[in-house]
Amino acid sequence: MAVTLVNPGGLPEVGAYRQVSVATGSKLVFVAGQVAWDADGVTVGEGDLAAQVEQCYLNVATALAGVGASFGDVAKLTVHVVDWTPGKMPLLLDGIARAAARLGVTPVPPATLLGVAALDVPEHLVEIEATAMID
Domains of the chain by start residue, with CATH: 3-134 (3.30.1330.40)
CA distance 91 to 93: 5
Query: Which runs of E-coded beta strand occur in 1-135?
Result: 3-6, 20-23, 27-34, 74-82, 111-116, 126-134
Q: What pLDDT, in 10s, does the model give residues 56-96?
A: 999 999 999 999 999 999 999 999 999 999 999 999 999 99
- The 8-class DSSP code of residue 108 comes to -
pLDDT at 1 (0 to 100): 56
Q: What pLDDT, in 10s, does the model give residues 28-64?
A: 999 999 999 999 999 999 999 999 999 999 999 999 9
- The residue among 58, 53, 108, 109 whose CA lies nearest residue 82 is 53
Cα-to-chain-centroid distance, residue 46: 18
Q: pTM for this one?
A: 0.89
- First-to-last C-alpha distance (Å) of the chain: 8
- The residue among 42, 46, 56, 41 whose CA lies nearest residue 98 is 56
